[in-house]
Amino acid sequence: MTMTAVYPGTFDPITMGHVDIARRAAQIFEHVIVAVYDTPAKTLVFDTAERVAMAEKALAGVGNIEVRAFGGLLVEFARQAGARVIVRGLRAVSDYEIETQMALMNRTLAPDVEEVFLVASLQYSFLSASLIKEVIKLGGTVEGLVPDFVADALRQKLAKQEETAPVPRWLTS
C-alpha cells in the first residue's frame, strides 16, 4: 500500500519554503500531492492554472510529487485522492496556533486522516508568499527565496495590475 500525503496551500506564489517542505515530505511519503487550493478567501495575484503550473515547474525534479488543484474541504480532497496524511509547514508559534485549530477541525471531520507538521528550515522560517509579494511591489530582491521564474512572473503580473488599476477619483478632480 502506497502512503500518500497531501500538502495543501494557495501557493500564491510558491516560495522556496514551500518547495523545501514539499521535497522533505517526498522523502518521508511514497507519494505527495501538492494541492493548490482554488478558492481561498483572499485576493490572489495568480489564477489557479498559473499557480499549478508554477508549482509543477518548481517541483519538476521530484518524481513522487504531483500537483493538483482542489476546491472544497481539504479532508474530502485527501480522501478522494487516497491520502491518509495532510502535511503542513510551520514557521512560527503563530502558525502553530492556526494550524492546530485547523488540524483539530480536520480530525473532527475526518478522524481517519492524520496531520503531520514539518518545521520550516531555518533559512525559510520567516518567509511567506505575502512578504514576497510586498518586497517585489517595493522593488526589492527575492533572489533565493522563490524560483527565478516565479520572481519574473510576479514582477510582470504586479506591473500589469498597477497599469490597469483604476485611478482614484480624488486624483482626477
CATH number at residue 117: 3.40.50.620
Q: Which domain covers residue 99, as residue numbers? A: 4-164
172, part of any domain: no
128, part of any domain: yes
Q: What is the mean pLDDT of residues 72-90?
A: 97
Task: Write down the pLDDT at residue 163.
Answer: 64
CA 101, CA 16: separation in Å to the nearest integer? 25
- 7-44 pLDDT tens trace: 999 999 999 999 999 999 999 999 999 999 998 888 89
| Greatest alpha-carbon span in the chain | 68
171, part of any domain: no
Distances (CA, A) of 127 to 6, 20, 28, 75: 21, 12, 23, 26
Are 10 and 45 in contact by the 8 Å Cβ rule? The answer is no
Query: Edge to edge, what strands does the sheet with 31-37 contain?
Result: 65-70, 31-37, 4-9, 85-90, 114-119
Prediction pTM value: 0.90
28, part of any domain: yes
What percent of the chain has a predicted confidence (pLDDT) above 90?
84
Q: What is the mean pLDDT of residues 109-137?
A: 95
Task: Write down the pLDDT at residue 173.
Answer: 52
Total count of domains within the chain: 1
